[in-house]
Amino acid sequence: MNISEFVTKVANPYFALHENVSNVTNEFLRSSVEFAVKNKVFPLFYEGCLKLGIRLPREAELLAGSYEKRRKMQLEEVNLLLDISDKLGIELMFFKTFRPFNYIPDDIDVLLRDEKDLGPLVDKLKEKGYFILKVGTPEVVLRKVGKDVYVDLDIHKRLAVGHLDVFRVENLWRNHAYETIRINNGCKMLKLSDDYEVVREAAYSLLKDFNLSIPGLYLAIYSMMNSDLKVLERIAEEENLLLPLDLYLNVAHYIACKLFGSEARFQLPKAKGKAALGILLKLCKRQQLKMPYYYPILAITWAYMSKVELEIRRNRNVGVLLQLIKQPSSKGMGILLDYIRECFH
């Protein structure tokens, strides 16, 4: 078992691991810890190793402590953000930050209902110790440094991939695409609903990251085990993201079956009358099965074409062409070069 497969199996929050892992070396475990950190599943991997009785190197114990500090500070800053937004009368929802498994993100992502609220919110956060780290296309990134830890806060004006809108913000609020949750101190907050979160993940994986990440795989597994797939399809259809959703779920299902065998008992409905999807899935299954899983370039291209064509045909949104023209960026090129490197590794 290679490191990628080992970490993905041990960290998974849903299936038991049946392979014998008692003979792994310390060097292999150190590399596995590094891989888990890089792929944003260290808390799950650490948890999985404890359950399996795998003794990790001392560095992992120190890392676990630093993750706990990060999460504690993140939750404190979520409370601060909610207090500020309530006093300023600003409506916002969290996304990507809270998942249905043990996930500690690199940053806190929030979406504003009205982009005119961005200035007042940033000004107030700067009074509370934040400084601007980066001004991106759809968001502003702020950082606050604490003792041995820091928190990054991404405030989004749009839910977009670069310049390309993934969801129309007004649709999210009109359709009540959020749910109320409570965090550790009982404080209530709005987060993007699980169903919308799955569709967002599908779009990001194909249109932004060009790969299916390990947390993305776990989210897909969660949705296939718990969600009404017809509801997911309805959401994706409304936002012109049905092809990315179908690709994401089908590729995740294929990977889950390969990794976990009969444990992955969930079934996806057969894609009837979707010739493009069938072609792309055949191509995806020829790709090397390694996590994170890098989509074939044709699948990425087709996903972009599908989104843009439907925006123009259904919504008469010709502005999407301008968004597409502006799409290449230094960050995007960096991701693309990483993608090409992985494909030929």
Instruction: Give the pLDDT confidence of 184-196 residue by residue, as tens digits.
Output: 767 789 999 999 9
Closest of 313, 79, 31, 279 to residue 188, by C-alpha? 79
Q: What are phi and psi of 109, to 5 degrees?
A: -110, 125
pLDDT of residue 344: 47
Does residue 345 register a pLDDT over 80? no
Across the chain, mean pLDDT equals: 86
Does residue 199 register a pLDDT over 80? yes
**Average pLDDT of the segment spanning 261-276:** 70
pLDDT of residue 323: 56
Percent of the chain with pLDDT over 70: 88
Whole-structure pTM value: 0.88
Interatomic CA distance for residues 272 and 274, integer angstroms: 6
> Where are the chain's structural domains?
1-56, 67-192, 194-345
Pairing of strands 108-112, 150-156: parallel
Interatomic CA distance for residues 315 and 42, integer angstroms: 42
Does residue 314 register a pLDDT over 80? no
pLDDT digits (tens, 9 = 90+) for 105-157: 999 999 999 989 999 999 999 999 999 998 877 789 999 998 889 999 999 98
Contact 188, 93 (CB under 8 A): no
pLDDT of residue 333: 44
62-44-95 Cα angle (round to 5): 110
Contact 132, 141 (CB under 8 A): yes
Does residue 338 register a pLDDT over 60? no
- pLDDT higher at 326 or 311: 311
pLDDT of residue 317: 62
CATH placement of domain 67-192: 3.30.460.40
Sequence-ordered list of residues with C-beta below 8 angstroms from that of 254, at least 6 positions apart, any chain: 281, 284, 285
Cis peptide before 292 (omega within 30 of 0): yes
142-144-147 Cα angle (round to 5): 160
pLDDT of residue 319: 62
List strand residue ranges (DSSP E) for 196-241, in order: 211-212
Handedness of CA 135, 139, 140, 144 (dihedral sign): negative
Does residue 310 register a pLDDT over 80? no
Does residue 332 register a pLDDT over 50? no
Residue type, 49: C
Both tokens assigned to 89: 């009368």
Percent of the chain with pLDDT over 90: 53
The HSE-up count of residue 59 (CA atoms within 13 Å, CB side) is: 10
Q: What are phi and psi of 250, to 5 degrees?
A: -70, -40
Does residue 330 register a pLDDT over 50? no
Does residue 17 register a pLDDT over 60? yes
Does residue 159 register a pLDDT over 80? yes
Interatomic CA distance for residues 56 and 53, integer angstroms: 9
Does residue 4 register a pLDDT over 90? yes
pLDDT of residue 341: 55
pLDDT digits (tens, 9 = 90+) for 203-231: 999 988 889 999 999 999 999 998 888 99
Closest of 186, 202, 192 to residue 113, by C-alpha? 192
